[in-house]
Structure 1
Amino acid sequence: MRTHVLLVLFLLLWAGCTAEPATNITVPALFSDHMVLQRDRDVPVWGTADPGGRVTVTLGDRQTAATAGPDGRWQATLPPMPAGGPHTLTIAGAETLTFEDVLIGEVWVASGQSNMEWSVENSNDAAAEIAAANYPRIRLFDVRHTVSSTPLDSVAADGWRVTSPQTIPSFSAVAYFFGRTLHEALDVPIGLISTNWGGTRAEAWTSRDGLATFPEFQPYLAQLDSFEVPLQALQAHLLARYQERIQTGDAGYQADVPWFRPEADDADWATMTLPTLWEQAGLDGLDGVVWFRRTVDLPAGWAAEDLTLYLGAIDDADSTWVNGVLVGHTNSYNTERVYTVPASALRPGRNVISVRVVDTGGGGGIYGEAAQLRLARASGASRSLAGPWRYRVGVRVDDLQPPLRLQDYPTALYNGMIAPLIPYAIQGAIWYQGESNADRAYQYRDLFPAMIRDWRQHWGQGDFPFYFVQLANFMAPQTDPNEASAWAELREAQLMTLALPNTGMAVTIDIGEADDIHPRNKQDVGYRLAQWALAETYGRADVVPSGPLYRSMTKENGAIRLAFDHVGGGLTTPDGAPLRGFAVAGADRRFVWADARIDGNTVVVSSRAVADPVAVRYGWANNPAVNLYNAEGLPASPFRTDDWPGVTVNNRTP
């Protein structure tokens, strides 16, 4: 028997050693020049080849091999390596794939919806940040939007890029500022994989396995299975049909004199002061097409040369004409519009700028900074375009049959934008999402942890670090201590997710913007996420990862004493003002504004109007005024001590 076993083992080894070199080797888009591989961890390398072929993977003095199975798939594993490089990675069979400038360092996945997708070029101090982005050891990998009904083998991407002023503008600002902070603190290469899609929901980023315990999603998965064509093809077809309906239904295009023509009569159009989201200027709830027109008088000298038209950010898409000449078209909501206006389109005196804005969800309009709205000469002289513009609605999408938002289907983005990244070796993930799940915040208490566990299970790297951003303050400032807020409940669901091991939450309740769901301060967001990584992942004992997080309450003498974790160097108010944002309630569950004071590492809350307080809330609103911090300058998370039913308690159906 022993002899038989040894013979079988010998034959297996002999067969592996004598396998023919593989032909038709392919690897996923993740493997390219300039890639970063995770240090100090096994590094899977995988792909396809003709069945039975042998593939040899070499990096420096490390070498490993694999044989393609009957389905053509192969996977080899490089041993753990220290930070360093550059190296050359070769994947060899009958032919050889060679990848140059490969670094070993820290790899992080950055995912979520629009606030993670938000680009450096549209964030605070964009010009200075872009000019300073000379970090050859920070590498960027950007995954294109992809939906799929089944897990894909490779993401749609253009490979890894070296960070520079040329490559950074369109990259995720949060991911970049997070990675830059780590790079400066650790002095090792950083690889950032950005995979996100604005306006999307957590269930779309979760696999079928992860959603197995959610009966409310099963009908959507069944519908997904019923589609007779791949989801990517269906998405392209439906989007094309929808855009065609918007085009044919747009009064601006169907008018006898189209509204982009300078001679179109706009005398009876309404006026809107730009920049602004149109929801804040009388068009609340409008999704569709709005046309904007502005007349500019130009001297002959200006009209004789090419000019540059700056329109700032526009949500979602625009087409822009000057005197009836199309000068630019952009489909991205987070890209600053900069269009060249040729001299041939200009004339001395009256010139008409026409901007057709299409928005199919959320805020819409020309909403950047006032200073961005201008018409400029090459010399630097410019004319401001901020102020009154004529506008008229071209079409409301409510009047059209909307397309299926395939990116909202459960599993669609996991299949297309997460599964193909697995099993690439990573250190961890950062996440900024939740706005699109706020109306189902109680469900998010279960859904968000389920998604995290799902990613970890599929990646097979244990409970890797998962750090996320709590929703920022947004909408009208709070005035009522009893405000019912789905966003407050979503923040609570995020806070509760810290019960999962190896998670952390960056609080941003102090850096949002009342009138913009996309706050421009992404530097602090990335920095605060990085504090969690430095403290918890990299063991920096001198780093406090978070602002104060509520731990417990004690009733005493008509007051409530609150204890916190992560007090750091102590509790404080950075503005020196009394504590704000605390409310207290008795058994009647009616909250009143409370007096709150710092007492050591606790906060004591009371109100003369509530003799026997039973519950405290802090920052419980869409946009609360709060000022509790630790000495490290990190804000406390909003919280409540009660568990009284909220406004989203019964919402589970998308």
Structure 2
Amino acid sequence: MKTFRLFVLSTVISCTIQAQVRLPRLISDNMVLQRETQLNLWGWATPGENITISFAGKQYETITPADGHWRVAIPPMEAGGPYDMKIDASNHLTIKNILIGDVWLCSGQSNMELSMVRLKDKYPDVIAASTNPNIRAFNVATRMNWQQPLEDLETGSWAMADPESVLQFSGVGYFFAKELYEKYHIPIGIIRAATGGSTAEAWLSDEALQQFPAIYNSLRLRDQTYLDSIRKADQKASDNWYSQLWWKDKGMQAPVKWFDNSYNPQDWKTMNIPGYWHDQGLKNIHGVVWFRKTIQVPASMAGQPARLFLGNVVDRDSVYLNGQLIGTTQYQYPPRKYPVSAGMLKKGTNTIVVRVINYTGNGGFYKDKPYQLFTATDTIDLKGPWQYQLGAATDPIPPAMTFYTQPLGLYNGMIAPLLPYAIKGVIWYQGEANADRATEYCQIFSALIKDWRIKWAGMHTMQNFPFLYVQLTSYMASHPQPTNSNWALLREAQLKTLSVPNTAMTVTTDIGEWNDIHPLNKEDVGKRLALAARKLAYHDSLLVSSGPLYKDMTIQGNKIIIRFTNTGKGLLAKGGPLKYFAIAGPDEKFRWAHAEIVNNTVVVWHESVSKPVAVRYAWDDSPLEANLYNQEGLPASPFRTDNFKAIP
């Protein structure tokens, strides 16, 4: 009898748990729901479960269908709140502090993913003044799946902007939301679903990928056995590489470790930092190189808390001060900004040791970055000669599959779970990972926009929502002469994507950093996206919302006259004569050209080109000095008038 009672009790408990309503992560406290469109509320429960939703003075009822997925449609609402929502079934849920406003999806790769915490040194006052319960964010964790579209997210919650929570907001997304809120005073919700290094095709659905047979047929990760084998093999190869590196590293195997304060660096050579060791005596070396610098700390700095800036390092570093580890970074892109605790600095001689691991490519320290140790009152410049010693030389780390570049995975894992949630539109910052295949990007990117619109339209009344995107900024060294550029080709593909209806492009070539793929100026990116949104999504009567775009050209003798759209109140050469125009004759050889603004056109010529046929503008990886703007202060997009395949 006792056993029977326990069985009945456990069965009742099991049935109760299965019957209880479960909500998706997005439907949670502090959420922002899209105004002026039909809303979906959805979740899971046992078939036949009766569900009652009380929201904003109205009630909605449904019965869970046989598949266990329930959904309730809420009529369009005006901006407002906060509201609470009660859901009553066999269990009772309350969702608190809901606002009705505009919801924007922020997607792409690392420049959209990059959080405000990385920008805290650039925007301390903005962060300090960020408290605003009407700006809210939800971060979608990176997750991939190649077997099926996922129904829900594993983690995530809505956060209201304040100096602590805003540090985890997308930098671009926050400045975009801030600008829109200050203009319209409507609650703004941003959903960040972005992954660093991701390709555009990783965000395409299975249906959309089928129009690209070469990509679609190469996707083997649907086979779970194959996927598991790749992950296992990659992990084993990585573990073996690091294990061998550890045992080969003389600095870690020596009786006195090379980071120890008592170690005597006899016979160490000298290298200038910042710089790359390939250029300073260690050619074609991968593995571990140790760097050491002795500094003299004045009494005013001794014992004080400090910060140590070491630019960016290729690829991985561990940093020691007076023999104590103060920080480590696993890959090259994050800036090295390490805190030094009070009491660590001593008057007189102090030693900084950096152990650098290089995976592949050219190891060393980024140029034109800050290298300094500083307190509130004093700064020690760390640029210049450092001692160095090779700890271990190895082959480059074995190549591994980058799963976030593989087609389909990010769509299934990070976009599919969002589809029932109504949005105002999308802001997108991606393209770096596709730059080596720039010529096909326009087709892939256009397909992505169409794909997402179809998927959202299948669950909502919205059609062709605004899609705003950032054109690639400037990155890498510029070239002294006109040259081929994959980044220029990618920008051209983005420019061509404007043919897709209800899209807008933000130009950012003037606010990049040649030595950093993650430029810090995210404020202007957000503001320029917001300007595009004002015209495209909010229908403000703006004269222009972007910089000049190439329209057409006319040849007159030895000159080419270029006309533009989006000239606003007129064209402007910012900071002096126009730069970065190149011209070519029938030989298809481009030369840097003279250019000037005449009657709201640009006239381009070169004394050695008597019969010009084509012009290019800002056609380089890093055209930071390109200076054609409209008088509203928005930069012109790079362009070319030709379709030459190469530049001799």
Counterpart amino acid of 1:39?
A: R
Deviation at 1:330, TM superposition (A): 4.7
Q: How many residues are treated as equivalent by the alignment?
A: 620
Q: Who is 2:12 aligned against?
A: none
Distance 2:403 2:351 in 1: 38
Counterpart amino acid of 1:166?
A: E
**Deviation sequence 1:399-449 (CA, Å, 0-9, x none):** 332332111211121122222211211111111111111111001121111
Task: Tell whether the 8 Å contact from 2:41 to 2:73 is kept in structure 1 after alignment.
Answer: yes
Task: Tell whether the 8 Å contact from 1:452 to 1:466 is kept in structure 2 after alignment.
Answer: yes
Distance 2:44 2:556 in 1: 67
Alpha carbons of 1:48 and 1:626: their partners in 2 closer, same or farther (altered >3 Å)? same
1:46-445 pair list within 5 angstroms = 46-123=42-119, 125-149=122-146, 150-222=148-220, 224-228=221-225, 238=234, 242=238, 245-250=241-246, 251=249, 252-274=251-273, 290-298=289-297, 305=303, 307-311=305-309, 314=312, 318-331=317-330, 333-334=333-334, 337-341=337-341, 343=343, 350-357=349-356, 373-374=372-373, 376=375, 383-392=380-389, 398-445=395-442
Deviation at 1:207, TM superposition (A): 1.7
Q: Who is 1:469 aligned against?
A: 470
Distance 1:372 1:66 in 2: 62
Task: Tell whether the 8 Å contact from 2:317 to 2:329 is kept in structure 1 after alignment.
Answer: yes
Deviation at 1:240, TM superposition (A): 8.1
Q: Who is 1:604 aligned against?
A: 603
Alpha carbons of 1:626 and 1:290: their partners in 2 closer, same or farther (altered >3 Å)? same
Q: Who is 2:455 aligned against?
A: 458
Deviation at 1:537, TM superposition (A): 0.8
1:12-31 pair list within 5 angstroms = 23-31=19-27
What is the DSSP-based 3-state SS (H/G/I as helix, E as strand, rest coil) of the residue aligned with 1:194? strand
Distance 1:58 1:279 in 2: 67
Deviation at 1:622, TM superposition (A): 1.3
Task: Tell whether the 8 Å contact from 2:271 to 2:387 is kept in structure 1 after alignment.
Answer: yes
Counterpart amino acid of 1:488?
A: A
What is the DSSP-based 3-state SS (H/G/I as helix, E as strand, rest coil) of the residue aligned with 1:373? strand
Provide the TM-score with structure 1 as the length reference.
0.86
Q: Who is 2:592 aligned against?
A: 593
Deviation at 1:286, TM superposition (A): 7.7
Counterpart amino acid of 1:172?
A: S
Alpha carbons of 1:142 and 1:583: their partners in 2 closer, same or farther (altered >3 Å)? same
Q: Who is 1:636 aligned against?
A: 636
Alpha carbons of 1:338 and 1:25: their partners in 2 closer, same or farther (altered >3 Å)? farther
Between 318-327 and 364-373, report the one with greater CA deviation. 364-373
What is the DSSP-based 3-state SS (H/G/I as helix, E as strand, rest coil) of the residue aligned with 2:106? strand
Alpha carbons of 1:328 and 1:188: their partners in 2 closer, same or farther (altered >3 Å)? same
Q: Who is 1:9 aligned against?
A: none
Q: Who is 1:496 aligned against?
A: 496
Between 457-466 and 211-220, report the one with greater CA deviation. 211-220
Counterpart amino acid of 1:73?
A: H
**Deviation sequence 1:150-180 (CA, Å, 0-9, x none):** 3222224330111111112243211111111
**Deviation sequence 1:315-348 (CA, Å, 0-9, x none):** 56544333443333455743663435464x6766
Alpha carbons of 1:638 and 1:64: their partners in 2 closer, same or farther (altered >3 Å)? same
Counterpart amino acid of 1:584?
A: I
1:478-497 pair list within 5 angstroms = 478-481=479-482, 483-497=483-497
Task: Tell whether the 8 Å contact from 2:359 to 2:397 is kept in structure 1 after alignment.
Answer: no
Distance 1:241 1:89 in 2: 51
Distance 2:17 2:61 in 1: 11
Deviation at 1:283, TM superposition (A): 7.7
Structure 2: any 5+ residue segments left out of the alignment? 1-15
Distance 1:153 1:285 in 2: 48
Alpha carbons of 1:475 and 1:381: their partners in 2 closer, same or farther (altered >3 Å)? closer
1:456-605 pair list within 5 angstroms = 456-460=453-457, 461-481=462-482, 483-542=483-542, 544-575=544-575, 577-605=576-604
What is the DSSP-based 3-state SS (H/G/I as helix, E as strand, rest coil) of the residue aligned with 1:459? helix
Provide the TM-score with structure 2 as the length reference.
0.86
What is the DSSP-based 3-state SS (H/G/I as helix, E as strand, rest coil) of the residue aligned with 2:19? coil
Distance 1:95 1:368 in 2: 60
What is the DSSP-based 3-state SS (H/G/I as helix, E as strand, rest coil) of the residue aligned with 1:623? coil
Counterpart amino acid of 2:157?
A: G
Between 602-611 and 29-38, report the one with greater CA deviation. 602-611
Counterpart amino acid of 2:137?
A: L
Distance 2:559 2:492 in 1: 23
Counterpart amino acid of 1:415?
A: N
**Deviation sequence 1:237-283 (CA, Å, 0-9, x none):** 95586256325424244455443333445444454555568788888
Counterpart amino acid of 1:486?
A: N
Between 630-639 and 252-261, report the one with greater CA deviation. 252-261
What is the DSSP-based 3-state SS (H/G/I as helix, E as strand, rest coil) of the residue aligned with 2:43? strand
Counterpart amino acid of 1:46?
A: W
Distance 2:374 2:269 in 1: 23
What is the DSSP-based 3-state SS (H/G/I as helix, E as strand, rest coil) of the residue aligned with 2:353? strand
Alpha carbons of 1:82 and 1:363: their partners in 2 closer, same or farther (altered >3 Å)? farther
Percent identical among aligned pairs is: 42
Deviation at 1:578, TM superposition (A): 2.3
Between 126-135 and 361-370, report the one with greater CA deviation. 361-370
Alpha carbons of 1:367 and 1:171: their partners in 2 closer, same or farther (altered >3 Å)? farther
**Deviation sequence 1:76-108 (CA, Å, 0-9, x none):** 222111111111123331112222111111111
**Deviation sequence 1:20-61 (CA, Å, 0-9, x none):** 998322222212221111111111122212222123333212
Counterpart amino acid of 2:93?
A: L
- The two structures, once aligned, show a CA RMSD in angstroms of 3.2
Deviation at 1:536, TM superposition (A): 1.2
Alpha carbons of 1:286 and 1:87: their partners in 2 closer, same or farther (altered >3 Å)? farther
Distance 2:490 2:317 in 1: 32
Distance 2:409 2:387 in 1: 40
Task: Tell whether the 8 Å contact from 2:366 to 2:515 is kept in structure 1 after alignment.
Answer: no
Q: Who is 1:12 aligned against?
A: none
What is the DSSP-based 3-state SS (H/G/I as helix, E as strand, rest coil) of the residue aligned with 1:592? strand
Distance 1:542 1:193 in 2: 27
Task: Tell whether the 8 Å contact from 1:238 to 1:403 is kept in structure 2 after alignment.
Answer: yes
Deviation at 1:119, TM superposition (A): 2.7
Counterpart amino acid of 2:102?
A: E
Q: Who is 2:11 aligned against?
A: none
**Deviation sequence 1:215-247 (CA, Å, 0-9, x none):** 22234412x02232877x976995586256325
Distance 1:185 1:118 in 2: 24
Distance 1:279 1:413 in 2: 37
Alpha carbons of 1:126 and 1:284: their partners in 2 closer, same or farther (altered >3 Å)? farther
Alpha carbons of 1:535 and 1:197: their partners in 2 closer, same or farther (altered >3 Å)? same
Deviation at 1:398, TM superposition (A): 4.8
Q: Who is 2:445 aligned against?
A: 448
Alpha carbons of 1:338 and 1:84: their partners in 2 closer, same or farther (altered >3 Å)? farther
